[in-house]
């Protein structure tokens, strides 16, 4: 049990950093910010799920997926489909030609609920599908690519293409998916109104709690032999293969875990923001999320969370004043990080923090103590 907690928390230093993040997200920010600003933080935290999935996949495994948005989006869509069905009860949709169907289906002359919407009538099944659908897609992509040893830049380009295809598919099938507007007007979760202030607080805490759980799960993976093998595969894939490991299986597994973590973020996004649209599925959001992870530090789970929060803060502030400059600024930021700080904020912290952190002060203090006792003897 002790070993497990050690692994999940990542040692003393890791536990401390996780505790600081937890206090910041769960205590300090809710106390300091009004509900509107806290809602923004909640939104950024859902992106942080994707950023930590990229730390696993890209930072540690060397597999750069430029399509994580599709898993975020699929998780979000699964959640949105359940909420939409609940919001489309026959009474509130009685002005439609076919009451009881989601409004966008009615506009597109669809008179019967499509088969793939049926499972989303049940909440337990929906929660399951939020995880299963993205993992299944990741498994299929992983099987097709990793067993054929497609890697490196080819993998990145193909994932990007798949993300693009998925977003085009969603936009094109308006009657089944809500098209470019996405799935909107979401109201209740099993009768619980998610638009009230208390629900928003509740969802915010749930979201932050889930993020911390996902960090702990990722820590467990990274501190195990699996984590060491990820680094080894990034360095010398051939050597791992010729040491008796089936490299493809390891890659498929981590790709599926990354998809699952991203999907949780997507589902929480839908719940907190109240809609899901194809603009969170395609290339641009997928690449933005890589930038969040890169700025925070692609090797650091906690760093990636801070990176996501900071870049999004910057985005909110800058895009209010100079909306047209923001994309250039973000591109520049990405180039600067890759060129000068390849390990991101976490790398800078690790380089400079040991000289002034309190662990150093404590070490100095501990050195003094034996001196004192020495004098006494």
Q: Site residues (CB under 8 A) for other proteins? A: 3, 220-221, 224-226, 228-229, 231-232, 234-236, 238-239, 241-247, 249-250, 253
Q: How far is the CB of 240 from other proteins (least distance, A)?
A: 8
Question: HSE on the CB side for 267, CA within 13 Å?
Answer: 25
271: CB partners within 8 A, 6+ apart: 79, 83, 189, 194, 203, 207
Shortest reach from residue 227's CB to other proteins, in Å: 9
Nearer to other proteins (CB atom), residue 200 or residue 251? 251
Rank residues 20 and 144 by Cβ distance to other proteins and give the closer one: 144
| Closer residue to other proteins (CB): 89 or 246 | 246
Q: How far is the CB of 294 from other proteins (least distance, A)?
A: 18
Nearer to other proteins, 3 or 339 (CB): 3
Question: From the CB of 226, what's the least distance to other proteins, in Å?
Answer: 4
For residues 7 and 17, which CB has a smaller minimum distance to other proteins in the complex? 7
Which is closer to other proteins, CB of 55 or CB of 208?
55
HSE, side-chain direction, 13 A CA sphere, residue 144: 11
Closest approach of Cβ 247 to other proteins, in Å?
Answer: 8
Of the pair 147, 316, the CB lying nearest other proteins is at 147
Give the integer Cα–Cα distance in Å for 297 and 353: 15
CA–CA gap between residue 298 and residue 261 (Å, rounded): 16
Q: How far is the CB of 109 from other proteins (least distance, A)?
A: 48
- Bridge partners (DSSP) of residue 183 are 276
Closer residue to other proteins in complex, CB, 260/330: 260
Q: Report the nearest approach of other proteins to the CB of residue 332 (Å).
A: 29
Closest approach of Cβ 231 to other proteins, in Å?
A: 6
């Amino acid at each position: 049990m002790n070993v497990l907690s050690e692994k999940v928390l990542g040692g003393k230093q890791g536990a401390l950093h996780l505790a600081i993040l937890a206090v910041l997200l769960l205590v300090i920010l809710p106390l300091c910010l009004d509900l509107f600003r806290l809602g923004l933080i909640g939104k950024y935290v859902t992106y942080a799920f994707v950023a930590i999935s990229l730390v696993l996949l890209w930072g540690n495994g060397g597999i750069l997926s430029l399509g994580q948005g599709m898993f975020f989006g699929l998780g979000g869509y699964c959640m949105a489909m359940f909420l939409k069905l609940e919001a489309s009860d026959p009474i509130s949709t009685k002005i439609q030609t076919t009451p009881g169907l989601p409004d966008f289906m009615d506009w597109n002359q669809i008179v019967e609920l499509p088969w793939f919407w049926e499972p989303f009538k049940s909440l337990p099944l929906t929660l399951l599908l939020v995880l299963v659908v993205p993992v299944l897609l990741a498994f299929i992509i992983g099987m097709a690519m990793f067993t054929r040893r497609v890697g490196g830049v080819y993998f990145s380009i193909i994932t990007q293409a798949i993300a693009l295809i998925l977003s085009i598919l969603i936009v094109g099938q308006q009657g089944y998916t809500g098209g470019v507007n996405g799935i909107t007007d979401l109201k209740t979760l099993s009768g619980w109104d998610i638009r009230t202030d208390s629900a928003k607080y509740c969802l915010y805490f749930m979201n932050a709690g889930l993020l911390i759980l996902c960090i702990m799960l990722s820590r467990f993976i990274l501190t195990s032999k699996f984590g060491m093998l990820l680094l080894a595969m990034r360095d010398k894939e051939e050597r791992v293969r010729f040491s008796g490991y089936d490299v493809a299986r390891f890659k498929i597994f981590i790709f599926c875990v990354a998809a699952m973590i991203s999907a949780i973020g997507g589902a929480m996004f839908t719940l907190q923001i109240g809609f899901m649209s194809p603009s969170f599925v395609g290339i641009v959001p997928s690449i933005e999320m890589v930038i969040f992870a890169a700025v925070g530090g692609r090797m650091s789970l906690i760093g990636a969370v801070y990176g996501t929060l900071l870049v999004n803060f910057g985005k909110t502030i800058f895009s209010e004043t100079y909306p047209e400059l923001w994309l250039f600024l973000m591109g520049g930021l990405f180039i600067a990080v890759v060129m000068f700080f390849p390990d991101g904020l976490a790398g800078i912290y690790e380089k400079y923090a040991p000289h002034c952190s309190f662990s150093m002060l404590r070490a100095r203090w501990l050195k003094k103590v034996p001196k004192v006792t020495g004098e006494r003897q």
